[in-house]
């Protein structure tokens, strides 16, 4: 009943906020979103202390906590159910979602000045869909939530975004919706080749793993074709090179709270789905395609970092950094080692916190200076000391500073990928190339900080630069503390992640 309660609170809260006056909408939305945030922290603690069983990578009923299954309907010969639950991978991502939503809503109190009830209502509606994505264990239910995320995100960008908001919103919607159709085609090609009568994800995983004699298309096995189609569909959401072009436009035009959710949670939908479907249900195919997939990941790391190096807009710099960071996740997943896959999953959580923190810092700076261009400002550290202190700490976290979550995630990925059997003799080369991305990250972040934060104060606009308000700085401090806590004690998440991945990687932690 816990998951149902989370969905009910956020969905009812959506309606309540939509009907509330603008002047109360922000505070009301923050209060409502705090309920699932507190509830998921409690659920996280219960899972951490009482449910640390090791099942079969995400989809073993013995490794699912807080589960609930209620028959729903029969559709096209398939039994559809309201089937939800949490394991060691979805639990951290669910907690990340609820905490980040609350902080993003609080950070929106300053920049959102009109139609506030609609804005905050859509934020809660997006949270409802995200909760469903990370908890649903029936494909039909999961797909409803997966597509449901598109609607509020499209409106949040298209209505409250920047000058090119309509173009960015349409591009985001077209890319992700077409990708969903391609993914759907690949998955149901497999479904129709089996005798499945249920769309429960554990049943689908078992059927795909045990399927034999699948047909071939033009000499290529159906499992390979389906894997490629599904990978393409999910990779757009990640995104990886060359499917990334929608992301910078969406980030630049989106309001800061929406960018926080986009980078912090929505991109993780893609990597989570890759792990849930491609690397769990079609593990043997993933192992066979490991080297080309790893190359895609490494190219994304280097290409995203190089593009960030060429930017002058702080938001674009952070946006392209996300493409680079998600490349590490792909590299870790294809390693099929305990630390590779575990580190990749931990990177989803770490990057969600750090990227959300970076976008919030950029948003606070923009709200004060009304510019994001590196060449238009300098010496901000003297005028906004608290905000800039957090921004510097977040930047070093992005660079992989030890005792911060980003370092732990990247170290585990590199350790797991360096001698991965799936990558053979190419493993050290691919891992070393990916490690070079950290050097580029340090280069563009240090350059951007040196130009904007230090030196003599200058500003290319006529606005007064004063210290940010408490409600602007508080979410930054909370996120920074979480980044440090997971960096100092990564086992708070990493142990439950590995326990859920043991069977998939074929060995102990």
List the beta strands (DSSP E) in 147-267.
216-217, 220-221
pLDDT digits (tens, 9 = 90+) for 274-297: 999 999 888 888 999 999 999 999
Q: What is the pLDDT of residue 378?
A: 82
Q: Give, as one character, the DSSP assignment of residue 468.
A: P
pLDDT digits (tens, 9 = 90+) for 459-480: 777 677 777 788 888 999 999 9
Judge contact between 349 and 438, C-beta under 8 A.
no
* Phi, psi dihedrals of residue 139, rounded to the nearest 5°: -60, -40
Residue 509, pLDDT above cutoff 60: no
Judge contact between 448 and 391, C-beta under 8 A.
no
290: preceding bond cis by omega (within 30 degrees): no
pLDDT digits (tens, 9 = 90+) for 304-339: 888 888 888 888 888 888 888 899 999 999 999 889
The DSSP string of 22-51 is HHHHHHHHHHHHHHHHHHHHHHHHHHHHH-
pLDDT digits (tens, 9 = 90+) for 257-271: 999 999 899 989 999
Residue 484, pLDDT above cutoff 90: yes
pLDDT digits (tens, 9 = 90+) for 8-29: 999 999 999 999 998 888 899 9
The DSSP string of 185-220 is HHHHHHHTTTT--B-BHHHHHHHHHH--S--EETTE
C-alpha angle 492-493-496 in degrees, rounded to nearest 5:
105
Q: What is the pLDDT of residue 211?
A: 60
Mean pLDDT calculated for residue range 392-399: 91
pLDDT digits (tens, 9 = 90+) for 51-80: 655 444 455 555 688 888 898 888 878 888
Q: Give, as one character, the DSSP assignment of residue 297.
A: H
Pick the closest to residue 134 from 102, 88, 199, 178 (CA basis).
88
Instruction: Please tell me whether residue 476 adopts helix, strand or coil conformation.
Output: helix
Angular region, 57: left φ>0, alpha ψ -120 to 50, beta rest: left
- Give the pLDDT band of residue 212 (cuts 50, 70, 90): low
Which value, to the nearest 10 degrees, does the dihedral of the CA atoms of residues 285, 60, 144, 224 take? 10
Domain residue ranges in the chain = 289-509
Judge contact between 97 and 134, C-beta under 8 A.
yes
Residue 507, pLDDT above cutoff 50: no
205-219, 353-367, 458-472 — most confident range: 353-367
Percentage of the residues of the chain whose pLDDT score is greater than 70: 94
Q: Are strands 216-217 and 65-75 parallel, antiparallel or unpaired?
A: unpaired
391: enclosing H helix or E strand: helix 385-398
């Amino acid at each position: 009943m816990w998951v149902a309660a989370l969905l009910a609170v956020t969905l009812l809260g959506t309606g309540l906020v939509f009907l509330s006056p603008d002047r109360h909408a922000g505070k009301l939305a923050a209060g409502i979103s705090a309920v699932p945030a507190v509830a998921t922290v409690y659920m996280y603690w219960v899972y951490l202390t009482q449910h640390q069983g090791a099942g079969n990578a995400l989809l073993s009923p013995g490794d699912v906590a807080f589960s609930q299954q209620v028959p729903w309907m029969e559709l096209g010969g398939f039994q559809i159910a309201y089937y939800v639950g949490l394991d060691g991978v979805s639990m951290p991502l669910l907690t990340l979602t609820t905490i980040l939503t609350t902080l993003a809503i609080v950070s929106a109190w300053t920049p959102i000045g009109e139609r506030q009830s609609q804005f905050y209502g859509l934020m809660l509606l997006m949270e409802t869909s995200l909760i469903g994505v990370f908890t649903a264990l029936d494909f039909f239910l999961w797909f409803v939530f997966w597509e449901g995320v598109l609607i509020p995100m499209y409106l949040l960008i298209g209505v409250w975004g920047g000058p090119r908001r309509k173009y960015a919103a349409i591009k985001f919607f077209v890319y992700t919706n077409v990708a969903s159709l391609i993914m759907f085609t690949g998955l149901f090609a497999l479904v129709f080749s089996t005798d499945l009568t249920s769309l429960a994800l554990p049943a689908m995983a078992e059927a795909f793993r045990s399927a034999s004699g699948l047909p071939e298309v033009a000499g290529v096995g159906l499992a390979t074709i389906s894997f490629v189609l599904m990978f393409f569909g999910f990779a757009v959401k990640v995104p990886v090179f060359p499917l990334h072009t929608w992301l910078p436009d969406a980030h630049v035009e989106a309001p800061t709270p929406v960018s926080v959710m986009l980078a912090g949670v929505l991109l993780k939908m893609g990597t989570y789905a890759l792990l849930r479907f491609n690397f769990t249900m079609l593990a043997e195919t993933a192992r066979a395609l490991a080297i080309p997939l790893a190359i895609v990941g490494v190219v994304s790391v280097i290409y995203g970092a190089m593009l960030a190096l060429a930017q002058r807009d702080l938001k674009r710099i952070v946006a392209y950094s996300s493409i680079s960071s998600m490349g590490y996740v792909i590299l870790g997943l294809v390693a099929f080692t305990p630390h590779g896959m575990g580190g990749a999953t931990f990177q989803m959580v770490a990057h969600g916190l750090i990227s959300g923190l970076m976008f919030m810092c950029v948003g606070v700076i923009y709200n004060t200076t009304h510019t994001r261009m590196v060449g238009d400002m300098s010496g901000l550290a003297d005028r906004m000391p608290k905000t800039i202190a957090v921004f510097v700490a977040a930047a070093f976290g992005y660079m992989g500073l030890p005792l911060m979550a980003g370092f732990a995630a990247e170290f585990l990925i590199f350790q797991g990928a360096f001698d991965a059997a799936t990558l053979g003799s190419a493993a050290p080369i691919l891992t070393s190339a990916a490690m070079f991305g950290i050097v580029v990250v340090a280069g563009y972040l240090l350059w951007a900080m040196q130009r904007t934060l230090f030196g003599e104060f200058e500003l290319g606009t006529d606005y007064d630069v004063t210290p940010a308000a408490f409600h602007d700085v508080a979410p930054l401090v909370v996120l920074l503390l979480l980044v440090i806590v997971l960096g100092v004690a990564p086992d708070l998440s990493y142990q439950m992640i590995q326990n859920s991945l043991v069977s998939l990687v074929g060995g102990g932690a």
